[in-house]
Amino acid sequence: MSPESPRFSVGLVGKAVEQLEQLTARAEQLDLRALLAAVYWQIIQSLETRPREWGDPFHNYRALDATSYSRAILPAGISVEYAVHNTKPLVWISKLIVLEGSPFAGE
């Protein structure tokens, strides 16, 4: 993005809201608040500044004029799915998934 480009507006939609709540509760139980805060900061910073470059595209939503992306954050073991509007600086996080072997899985 060039310096004149606006930052992307990032929001949580659908299951991502509940998944973040569950992840936050799990981080509290496992004393992983600092790790979750760092991971969430990385996610938001990346999505506000370079969402198309940060993830791997996997689906085109023509009706929404948006493209879906995914990205795994390791070693935290969290996968993020999100959509980026093709012409407006908008990002929607749709899923936050705890991967097998993640410290948040508590295994």
The pLDDT assigned to 6 comes to 79
The pLDDT assigned to 88 comes to 95
Average pLDDT score over residue span 58-80? 94
Q: Of 88, 87, 69, which is closest to residue 79 (Cα–Cα)?
A: 69
Q: Which residue ranges form the domains of the chain, and what is each CATH number?
A: 9-100 (3.30.2310.20)
> pTM of the predicted model, to two decimals?
0.90
What does each C-alpha distance from 37 to 27, 33, 60, 82, 99 come to in angstroms?
Answer: 9, 6, 30, 19, 17
Q: Of 97, 53, 105, 52, which is closest to residue 78 (Cα–Cα)?
A: 97
State the pairing for strand pair 78-85/90-98. Answer: antiparallel
Instruction: Share the mean pLDDT of the chain.
Output: 93
**pLDDT at position 1 over 70:** no
Tell me how crowded residue 62 is: count the other CB atoms within 10 A of its CB: 8
**pLDDT at position 99 over 70:** yes
DSSP 32: -
Tokens found for residue 38: 């760092």
